[in-house]
Structure 1
Amino acid sequence: MHAWPASEVPALPGEGRDLQIHDTATGGLVALDPGPVARIYVCGITPYDATHMGHAATYNAFDLVQRVWLDTKRQVHYVQNVTDVDDPLLERAERDGVDWVGLAEQETALFREDMTALRMLPPRHYIGAVEAIPGIVPLVERLRDAGAAYELEGDVYFSVESDPNFGKVSNLDAAAMRLLSAERGGDPDRPGKKNPLDPMLWMAAREGEPSWDGGSLGQGRPGWHIECVAIALDHLGMGFDVQGGGSDLAFPHHEMGASHAQVLTGEFPMAKAYVHAGMVALDGEKMSKSKGNLVFVSKLRRDGVDPAAIRLALLAHHYRADWEWTDTVLADAVARLENWRAAVSRPDGPSAEALVEEIREALAHDLDAPAALAAVDRWAALQREAGGTDEGAPGVVSRTVDALLGVAL
């Protein structure tokens, strides 16, 4: 599966800052010091309805991570999946009377278009669950043969008790885990499971649903968590720098995935930092496909909204914060974009050296994009009120905003 084209990232003078970022597992900031190649895995979409502002906010956060690392002259090995076979996709296809494969391809193509418009840097590897199945089957077989998985009516489940470090990503108690498991794709009440929290690794073929040859596992399809584990281990290995996604993925998805990988490899942890973006709401409720309260990037673009303004609307909120999309949020972003473009359109202006370092410092401290935006606002205000004599300053500001914030002025 191919990703989307990359926009050019301007090189900036001086040196970038190493990233400190909030780690869900430890509950505090961790200083990341990757080698020459920083490694990041971000969970992708299930392509039955893309791309709403919750998606965009999540991928914007991890785009900033990439940009901070690139500014330190590192390479970035970024991997993202597409869950192109799963119950919600099949249910939507059946509801609409369309082929599930065609639906997945259509929505994935739209996602690519949205990411390109928003200037999100693409992953090096963009992998669909279906194409990953040949690598998933051997992992499930290894877990089963090691006694870390068991069969139940043809399905194969992972035993969470096989991982002594289970629970160290989300740090939730058993009651909270069971509740979230039921809400987020698990089946804690299924009779016969060794532990209600045990997640499915391989689902035996169901009538009328797609299935693949699972070797000794029989016909079926993979569970959600093992999909990402297979892709991450194949392309990044253990101990990669950042596992990313929305905050609703901390449990069960990232918790279960970490346990799968840790049992498979005997190593801990799977990732050095588990980083989670906040949720975006509309009319007081979290945007979700089940509720239908979605604001789509593609719809805003069709309505003539500049993608740079959409990106500024995302950047105005700290990535870990839960926030609400409103008409005012968008109007403020449109006004900010106009103000910034007017400021950099002049041939000279106030010196931008301090601004570059202020933006770097803000982003290096847990991706504080609102502080970075405020710094540019102050420079633009000086430009508007007093101007300046530095002929190169507007160009430096424009390149910095592009390189570090992904906004083309």
Structure 2
Amino acid sequence: MDLPPGYHSKGECTSLIPMVCKLVKSLYGLKQASRQWNVKLSATISALGFKQSQADHSLFVHSSGSNFTALLIYVDDMIITGNDAACVVNLKQVLDQKFGIKDLGSLKYFLGLEIARGAKGISINQRKYALDVLKEAGVLGCTPAKTPMEQQLKLSKSDGEVLKDAGQYRRLIGKLMYLTLSRPDITYVVHRLSQFLAQPRVPHMKAAIRILQYIKGTPGQGVFFPIDSDLQLKAFCDADWAGGPDTRKSLTGYCVFLGDALISWRSKKQDIVSRSSAEAEYRSMATTTCELTWILYLLRDLCVPHHKPVLLYYDNQAALHISANPVFHERSKHIEADCHIVRNKILDGTIKTFYVSSRSQLADIFTKALGVENFLRLVNKLGVINIFNHHIQFPNTAKEAYESKENQPRALLLRGSVKAASPTQQ
């Protein structure tokens, strides 16, 4: 590399005397900066006795007897929670000495997520972020829609006129993808529209505007975690066979509950074309099983025991028979071996499968566009609520729900650290 202007001596011949720069400290903007920052922060936290989770490397936990502390990191923003106030105070003091921190107090707003705690549980929504998206798109005065997508709407890569400004569509879809962190009700349609980023067309943009109309009517929609729920892990999964008109690939959709709390959901196109609906459904079960296995690892790192089998609900009898039958036959011998992780988990008792009727299949909302009645019914069953329209009791005193401020999650912002640029940080 070349030295900056002013570092060369007058009359110096740089071609004969090679000169180099030694990097003493990682600087903002360099490729290595974020990596070096993560290594330094992780080493500092690990030196205090914290253990890094193998399921999620951004999670650090500390357990000693009945005391437990957890720390979650996003670049240089972090959340600390636990029942050991002394450990939390000690951790904050060390971080303040090493890096300099700003304690933002009890967790209320974090990276666009708004957290509200009440006597009945915890609610997470992105109301401010949703309103900002509507404002930037110039549709604050639009007419609200009851569903995010028209039922039976077929979108293709070749239908309609190509958009003149493809960047506008891409930016909008990127913002909506971040909104799905707390909005499972728009996950399916955002996933469908994200498949046309290469060459978006007018029908795709109209469908994206429809999402904004739906958000206009429900800006405060978010997931709710009830405080009196049990710790039984259960999941619903479904598939839409050959749902993609361009590739004919099927779509996988699942949602995972811990008790009555929705903790994970996804809508994803399968990697290959399935030869039958049973194969598409079975691949959906395999994807859900992998997610459940990861969640079990995460619960173990959080010191949350889960000794019962995970309950997996499905509405396809053929897929259930394939998962329970250890014999390979004509209908399943072409399926890759990794898909049979479902069968292995059933045999070792980790997962127990059940049949559920199509009407009670909650994962339908992640595989297809539904009518108003079915859509609202499934949204309600997923535990997605709008706290600004519901009468939920919030604690007025420290004795309700969480008795001490020390036991509440706290948000911290590190000062003077190498910080990566993020469009989602507020």
For normalisation by structure 1, the TM-score amounts to 0.22
Q: Which has the larger radius of gyration?
A: 2
For normalisation by structure 2, the TM-score amounts to 0.22
Larger strand percent: 2
Larger helix percent: 1
